[in-house]
Amino acid sequence: MALLQKNHTLSSEFIILGFGDLAELQIFFFGLFLIMYLVTLTGHTTIVLITLIDSCLQTPMYFFLRNLSTTEICYILVIVPNMLANFLCRSQRMPFLGCALQMHLFIALGGVGCFLLAVMAYDRFVAICNPLRYTVIITRALCLQMLTLACISGFALSLTLTMLIFLLPFCQSHEINHFFCDIPAVLFLACSDTRAKEIAVFLVCMVILLIPFLLILLSYAFIIAAILRMHSAEGRSKAFSTCAGHLLVSVLHDGCAIFIYIRPKSRYTPEQDKIVSLIYTNVTPMLYPMIYSLRNKEVKGALRRLLVTALTVLLIMLGDDPIFYHKEALTAIRGGTPQWERQILEGRNNMDHFSSTQPYLLFGQCDCKSLREYGDNREESTKVSAQEHVDQQIPADSPKLMMLC
């Protein structure tokens, strides 16, 4: 009861000032960050979908990447919608408990992201430095255990830190000079001696930010040493390409956060912090999907296959003839390249089902495992010979055969 009387903000609210001093540019910033927000959601949702659907991406590395993207989606949903609303008004009122909940989720999801990046670095370390034992060490059970540990650790540390901050008395100004309830901005409003709490905040941030980041750097020190010992230039290039995206994301993710949180309260500068916070809550999450997709041939290949599948489904939905739902065509879609090649090579048998005046539409989904077995040259030659074989079976006045793969 004494605590409620001392800290009367429990029954009141905070005022989020945001960017009220830039009133003439707020509409511009609203449009700009709305576009960035939509691009970020689209990018991370795409990564989640392709790593769930594509059979070639069912590996531990993409399991962690999918969960990292899911975490990033939740992370920006906690911050960005309120920030966009703040652009449309000079200030925004937020209840005391609402501010505490936002801080808790923000720290927890950020912490889970840091731990997942460290786990992904360990995964790359085992894959490059101990490849023969990779499947023995990085098992599905271990992946689930590491994911669970990362989530529990992030939320537990966040709850501890949030309680330490919001048990402080805020008996003077309730105006937070920021666009969300960030740790330094809220801690700055406390009207009591906060040195003990600052030490606690520093220790928790060390566990969430600095230790995972140092583990990432240590892993990549071993990885780079192993890559430099490789005799194959192609192997070195592939290893660097695989790891460069993750290392860049780790530096962007942890670098800005370390700059903000691992420093004393006396170094707090609201305007500078708002700019840095804009970067790590809006810009860097938008860059992550681009970095992973542009630097990773497997992700780009999976994205192409997803687009082909989506186009195939769209063509089926737009088709006004039952031919599009023919059993052999659907079997080819589900079965992958070997069945597709067999379908076409035995085209004379399948064409008996169709009228010579109907359009022919054969569907095939390229299967990664089959592509590795047959090789690009064999696949190309098979397509050409199959096309010639099928052309012999189609009357000259029939519509042209369409093949999608």
**If pLDDT is split at 50, 70 and 90, which confidence band does 383 have?**
very low
394 and 272 in one domain? Answer: no
Higher local confidence (pLDDT), 332 or 37: 37
Residue in this structure with the two tokens 């449309």, named with its chain if needed: 88
CATH number reported for the structural domain that contains residue 221 in this entry: 1.20.1070.10
Q: Domain total for the chain? A: 2
**If pLDDT is split at 50, 70 and 90, which confidence band does 18 have?**
confident
- Model pTM score: 0.73
Closest CA to 326 of 310, 350, 308, 303: 350
381 and 338 in one domain? Answer: yes
336 and 236 in one domain? Answer: no
**What pLDDT digit, counting tens, does each position of 220-265 carry?**
999 888 888 887 777 777 777 777 778 888 888 888 888 778 776 6
Question: What pLDDT shows up at residue 212?
Answer: 92
Amino acid at 162: T
DSSP 8-state symbol, 189: T
263 and 185 in one domain? Answer: yes
CB 86 within 8 A of CB 16: yes
Structural domain contains residue 307? no
**If pLDDT is split at 50, 70 and 90, which confidence band does 191 have?**
confident
Higher local confidence (pLDDT), 361 or 111: 111
82 and 19 in one domain? Answer: yes
Burial of 195 (0-12, 13-18, 19+ CB in 10 A): exposed
d(CA 5, CA 261): 30
Residues making up the chain, counted from first to last = 405
336: left (phi over 0), alpha (psi -120 to 50) or beta: left
Structural domain contains residue 303? no
Structural domain contains residue 314? no
Last residue of a domain, one of 297, 329, 363: 297
95 and 18 in one domain? Answer: yes
CB 157 within 8 A of CB 115: no
Structural domain contains residue 309? no
| Residues forming a β-bridge with 402 | 361
Structural domain contains residue 46? yes
331: containing domain = 319-404
